[in-house]
């Protein structure tokens, strides 16, 4: 089971703000898109719905390190770092594909709640086993081994994969 999910995209023009670079809200959008895709692929979304539950965000922490610009190819890496009784920590790193520059590091605390009442619920074992956790002390080792895709000749990105 892959620990790190990779979501690749080309920065669209409409992601750029008045400062001439990607608006910070776009990074958050891409982080959430990657989290949802990863959850879908791993079967977590299906298991969560079957349990009558949903995930909601408790906190986001995002560190913006370098700007991105329209037309650049980026990869959003995401992985689950831990599970606790009612919450899970998911981490992210956004990388510019051309030079592997780290643009953003982020994390989100997700909480597991009853879909009907909105109350916190313990995370069932089958939901937790949807992901292989990536411990903090192994993050850099695994991230450094990832093969970031090369841009396609048409300007897009050719791969979207788990690693």
Q: What is the pLDDT of residue 155?
A: 53
Is 70 exceeded by the pLDDT of residue 121?
Answer: yes
Q: What is the pLDDT of residue 159?
A: 47
Closest C-alpha to 88, from 117, 33, 119, 129: 129
What is the distance between the alpha carbons of residues 53 and 81, in angstroms, rounded to a whole number? 21
Sign of torsion over alpha carbons 93, 44, 124, 58? positive
In 10 A of CB 59, how many CB atoms?
11
Asked if 79 contacts 56 with a C-beta cutoff of 8 angstroms, the reply is no
Is 90 exceeded by the pLDDT of residue 153?
Answer: no
The pair of three-digit structure tokens given for residue 3, joined into one six-digit string: 């620990």
Percent helix, strand and coil across the chain, each rounded to 5? 25, 35, 40
pLDDT band at residue 146, thresholds of 50, 70 and 90? confident
Is 80 exceeded by the pLDDT of residue 88?
Answer: yes
The pair of three-digit structure tokens given for residue 28, joined into one six-digit string: 């958050």
What is the distance between the alpha carbons of residues 78 and 143, in angstroms, rounded to a whole number? 10
How does pLDDT run across 41-87, given as a tens digit for each residue?
A: 999 999 999 999 999 999 999 999 999 999 999 999 999 999 999 99
Q: What is the pLDDT of residue 143?
A: 87
Whole-model pTM: value is 0.89
What is the distance between the alpha carbons of residues 11 and 29, in angstroms, rounded to a whole number? 12
Question: Domain 5-145 in CATH: superfamily?
Answer: Hotdog Thioesterase (3.10.129.10)
How does pLDDT run across 2-54, given as a tens digit for each residue?
A: 689 999 999 999 999 999 999 999 999 999 999 999 999 999 999 999 999 99
What is the distance between the alpha carbons of residues 125 and 145, in angstroms, rounded to a whole number? 29
């Amino acid at each position: 089971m892959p620990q790190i999910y990779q979501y690749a995209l080309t920065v669209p023009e409409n992601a750029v703000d008045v400062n001439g670079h990607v608006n910070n809200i776009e990074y958050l959008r891409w982080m959430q898109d990657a989290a949802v895709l990863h959850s879908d692929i791993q079967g977590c979304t299906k298991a969560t719905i079957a349990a009558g539950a949903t995930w909601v965000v408790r906190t986001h922490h995002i560190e913006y390190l370098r700007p991105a610009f329209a037309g650049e190819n980026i990869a959003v890496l995401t992985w689950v770092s831990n599970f606790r009784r009612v919450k899970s920590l998911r981490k992210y790193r956004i990388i510019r594909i051309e030079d592997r520059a780290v643009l953003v590091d982020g994390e989100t605390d997700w909480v597991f709640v009853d879909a009907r009442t909105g109350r916190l619920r313990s995370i069932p074992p089958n939901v937790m086993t949807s992901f292989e956790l990536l411990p903090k002390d192994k993050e850099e080792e695994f991230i450094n081994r990832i093969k970031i895709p090369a841009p396609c000749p048409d300007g897009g990105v050719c791969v979207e994969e788990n690693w």
